[in-house]
Amino acid sequence: MPPPANPNPNPMPPIRRENLTVLLDLDGSEILRVGLHETTIKQPGINGALEVYKTHDNIRLVDGTIWNAMMLLAKPPVNLAVCACCRHPEWKFFGQEQPTHGLLRLSRAKTCPCGQTTCPRHTKLGGDGVYRCPRCASRWARSQLVLSLFFSKE
């Protein structure tokens, strides 16, 4: 008895599509590459059903939330900011913390009067109610100390 005839002698190879989102910093160096990977497979047989598999790359942001590139297309979009203190940590007395990608939701970011964007962990709230980066916060605290030595509030 001959083998059964193949109903689809030329099966269609899977179709793969990849959308990449590349995030760059101010220097133009790559921070992160995330994307959407889509594979379409036509099932063998007479009906030839199509199956579509989509895989999104998700990342954990420094503020603790999860983000993927499709969130940029949402209504309203989930925009990102970069914490410079997370990207390039300063030396402390006990060493330096590990640098990270520094990405966080724009809605959770704070901007210092000097223009630097910081995450909630690196943001300092001054006595005057202004959020500052660590460098400006220490400068402001020193200036307040000097002013308190020479002047008093009435």
pLDDT tens string 16-34:
888 888 888 888 888 888 8
Mean pLDDT along residues 129-137: 90
Q: What is the pLDDT of residue 20?
A: 85
Q: What is the pLDDT of residue 104?
A: 92
Asked if 31 and 83 count as a contact pair (C-beta separation under 8 A), the reply is: no
- Residue 28 has φ and ψ, to the nearest 5°, of 90, 0
- pLDDT-above-70 percentage for the chain: 90
User: Which is more confidently placed, 7 or 120?
Assistant: 120
Using the predicted structure, report yes or no on whether residue 1 has a pLDDT greater than 60. Answer: no
Q: How far is CA 125 from CA 32, 40, 97, 147, in A?
A: 30, 51, 21, 19
Using the predicted structure, report yes or no on whether residue 8 has a pLDDT greater than 80. Answer: no
pLDDT tens string 61-113:
999 999 988 888 889 999 999 988 888 887 777 777 788 888 999 999 999 99
- Mean of all residue pLDDT scores within the chain: 83
